[in-house]
Amino acid sequence: MKIKNFLNKWKKQNFFLKTLFLLLLIWYFISLLFFTRSMMSLTGIETTIRVIILLVLFLHLFIYGLYGLVLLFTKKKRIWVLFLLTLIYSPILNIASYYIDRTYNIIDGVQKKYVEYTSVMLSLKDSTKYDKIGIITSEEDPTGYIIPKEMIKSENIKGTLVDYDDYISMITDMYDGKIDAMFVADSYATMFSSYEKFANIEADTKVVHSMTKKLENVDNVSYSTKKLDSPFTILLMGVDSTGDGITSGASFNGDSLMMITFNPHTLNATVFSIPRDTYVPIACNQNRENKINSSAYGGTSCVVKTVENLTGIKIDYYMKINFTGVVNLVDDLGGVTVDVPIKFCEQDSQRRFGEYLICLDKGVQKLNGEQALAFARHRHSLPLGDFQRVQHQQMVVEAMIKEIKNIKSIEDFYKILEDVANNIDTNLSTPQILSLYGVGKDILLNSLKNDLNLSIQKTYLTGYDLTMYIPSYRSNVYTFQYYKQSLEDIVEAMKVNLELSKPKVIKTFSFDFNEEYSPQVVGKTYYNEPRRELMPSFIGKTKIDVENWLMTREIEVEYLEESSPNPTGQIIKQSFVPGTLVEAINKFTITISKYDGSNPSTDPNTPEEPNSDLLPDFVGKKLTDFNKWKNTLKNANFTIDTKELSVDDIASLGLSDLEEDTIYKQSVPKGTNLEEISSLIVYYYKKVE
């Protein structure tokens, strides 16, 4: 009966008002449903407040419907006020849903679940036959094994496969002619060009076959399930590319590794940048020692495990960052202010020379995106090389953090958020990223109170340079040997920040009013630790020299005798290459000459050969000639590098009509004894396209 009376009254009401009331009620209801869905996606963010807001809104919807009917039946003029309020509330809910969903979708896109991997079959440029082809044995490697197996079938590749555990040994064998080709990621130039032997890999090689497949991201592995409201560690890895964004499974060269610990309780971070040449056991290569940047060839999991083994600290999360993304991010922030220590020039984000060079003067200045990237990349003219570049990268990160507080509009915020999401890949899940809300809220509240205490504790790993023989390279290679005490000090600082250790109480403190105070850099101290010893060359020496050397070392030696034109008693062979770490040697063999009566140097029919102990003149010769000579050096105890002529170099030489890939300058004069050389650089001309 009551329902019938209600329907009769409803029929008598103004049709326009009834229709408008229903439409606004439906709009409000649908808007509230979308808003509820958006609010529920914000897992872990102010859960109690979100529930209260939703309960209040649904209660308001119920009251709105009930009160609207009363006004419709009794006081029709007042219902227009209700209509007006609905026209305000519903758009607010729609706008709120839009921005919540926009934020969530951007954050959800940070974790790349599927990526495109491209594998190529690579050979030296002059190769025409591919009888022996190198392939990585790891069946989980997309570009070294999975895609190559499909490529072999689809391209009907007939060569014999040669198995390898690591890429360095494989590419070294290809350069030495032991294999004809190899399977590797299409980013091979980025992976290997930082090594002296492969500096001109793009000019030396060609792609025979190529295949691209979209696969599940093999790096998308969860190492931790905890939220970010407790102390955590994250490993930042640089991906050096010429394009914006991380849209494919690009391999990286491991040149930029930064381990960060962050404590959300104290808003303190420790930043540990690991030099690329640091010599450490590589987790995915049977813990054989090598430069830490070589761990990148085994993928993200190999890098993470290698750094964990080095520090003894569990890494909770990783983040791969595309360097080129720094350009847009810094520009979005309106630039960053840094103190540039020296005047220098560097390639732009597309690695172009000529008119595209980025040149900076010395001094404090505000840098745009291209300038900030050049500052973070440059190392060749820095007094401390890669170590100083690491410091510059820390300076850019710190400057960017300082600029974040200057964001003035919501669109600026979203532009920065989109650029960040586009240029990173991480194993952080969306709920874990959202849990950073609490940290952001604390920073914002403290900033409003002018009590922001966000601090960054810098570290510096000290050690010494050591050029040594590395078997996988089959040559002497520059390495950085860290001081154990320096690493221990850095690790202890990180453990304190992670609340795994208690801080040591400093009971004394001294200062000088005449000196400006600067915060202590953890680990940046000289430590009096013994250096690692290298195997010397005994060639041309005698058994007595070997015995004297062995007196203080527990190493066995076996002597062999072999007929040769050298004087009797002179050492002509040794089983370990000079420059090999002595600690890796338990026993070695020495071959001593037994004069056979011949002497080619006095035979008039023997043509005179150039002195192989003296440095040739490479000026005017091609890079290929230099590389052939370099590959013949098996026992050279000095570093070798090739560099493109800079604009200043070309101007100082006063030459015109330069030929591409031709050498016009060398750092050491011709005729210098090779034993007297510590470093050799040749400069060649590269045409700017």
Query: What pLDDT, in 10s, does the model give residues 550-564?
Result: 988 999 999 999 998
DSSP single-letter state for residue 143: I
306-320, 322-336, 453-467: which has the highest mean pLDDT?
A: 306-320
Q: Is 681 exposed, middle or buried (0-12, 13-18, 19+ CB in 10 A)?
A: middle
CB 167 within 8 A of CB 252: no
Query: Which ranges of 312-409 does DSSP label H, i.e. alpha helix?
Result: 325-332, 369-377, 386-404
pTM: 0.72
What element of type H or E holds 455? Answer: strand 455-458
Measuring CA to CA, which residue among 487, 439, 425, 436 is closest to residue 462? 487
Same domain, 490 and 628: no
Q: Give the residue with greater pLDDT, 35 vs 456.
A: 35
Same domain, 246 and 341: no
Q: Is 295 helix (H, G, I), strand (E, B) or coil?
A: helix
| Distance, C-alpha 335 to centroid of its chain | 22
Same domain, 205 and 163: yes
Q: Answer whether residue 89 shows pLDDT above 80.
A: yes
**Separation in Å, CA 256 to CA 393, 468, 533, 591, 641:** 9, 22, 28, 44, 20
Same domain, 500 and 448: yes
pLDDT per residue as tens digits for the range 210-236: 999 988 877 766 667 777 778 999 998
Q: Is 90 helix (H, G, I), strand (E, B) or coil?
A: helix
Question: How far is residue 460's CA from residue 528's CA, in Å, rounded to a whole number?
Answer: 16
Same domain, 307 and 429: yes
Give all strands (DSSP E) within 219-328, no chain letters: 232-239, 257-263, 268-274, 279-281, 289-291, 317-322
Q: Answer whether residue 359 shows pLDDT above 60.
A: yes
Domain count, the chain: 6
DSSP single-letter state for residue 213: E
Q: Answer whether residue 187 shows pLDDT above 90.
A: no
Containing structural domain, residue 41: 2-108
Same domain, 441 and 484: yes
Same domain, 429 and 305: yes
Please check whether residue 537 lies inside any domain of the structure.
Answer: no
Among 185, 216, 247, which residue terminates a domain? Answer: 216
Q: Is 131 helix (H, G, I), strand (E, B) or coil?
A: coil
Same domain, 369 and 439: no
Average pLDDT, the chain: 82
pLDDT-derived band at 635, boundaries 50, 70, 90:
low
The residue behind tokens 């449903």 is 33
Read off the CATH number of the domain in which 440 is found. 3.30.420.590
Same domain, 392 and 522: no
Question: Which residues pair with residue 564 across a beta bridge?
Answer: 595
CB 579 within 8 A of CB 466: no
Q: How many CA atoms lie within 13 A of 69 on its CB side?
A: 10
Q: Which residues of 257-279 are buried (b: 16+ CB within 10 A; e: fewer)?
A: bbbbbbbbeebbbbbbbbbbbbb
Q: Answer whether residue 398 shows pLDDT above 50.
A: yes
Q: Answer whether residue 608 shows pLDDT above 50.
A: no
**Separation in Å, CA 510 to CA 472, 513, 515, 517:** 50, 10, 11, 11
83-92, 181-190, 303-312, 679-688: which has the highest mean pLDDT?
A: 303-312
Please check whether residue 287 lies inside any domain of the structure.
Answer: yes
Same domain, 264 and 141: no
